[in-house]
Amino acid sequence: MTTTANTTSDGFHWLGLAAAPTFTFMAMVSLFDGSQASICGSGPDPSPLGSMTTMYLLMALFHLAPWLKFARRR
């Protein structure tokens, strides 16, 4: 029974580590995408803080905590 609990917590640990690289990849894709289609921006010249690239970079930054904990343990 403890094996299942350890396996589940290990799975959640690795899931937490997957978030930051995924958001970083999505930021790079949206940065180099030629269409620059924005879901949030309705005007012809939206603010740079309203772009999808900025949103993905902020999400990656907010999800760095598991990586910092992982690096501190090593």
pTM value is 0.63
> How many domains are contained in the chain?
1
Cβ-Cβ contacts under 8 Å for 31 (sequence gap 6 or more): 53
Q: How far apart are CA 50 and CA 36, in angstroms?
A: 12
Reported confidence tier of residue 1, pLDDT bands at 50, 70, 90 = very low
> What per-residue confidence (pLDDT) applies to 33?
76
Q: Which residues form the domain of 53?
A: 2-73
First-to-last C-alpha distance (Å) of the chain: 28
Q: How many CB atoms lie within 10 A of CB 52?
A: 19
> What per-residue confidence (pLDDT) applies to 32?
81
The one-letter code for the residue type at 10 is D
Q: How far apart are CA 64 and CA 8, in angstroms?
A: 21
- Structure confidence by residue, pLDDT tens digits, 7-59: 666 667 778 788 888 988 988 888 887 565 555 555 555 555 567 888 889 99
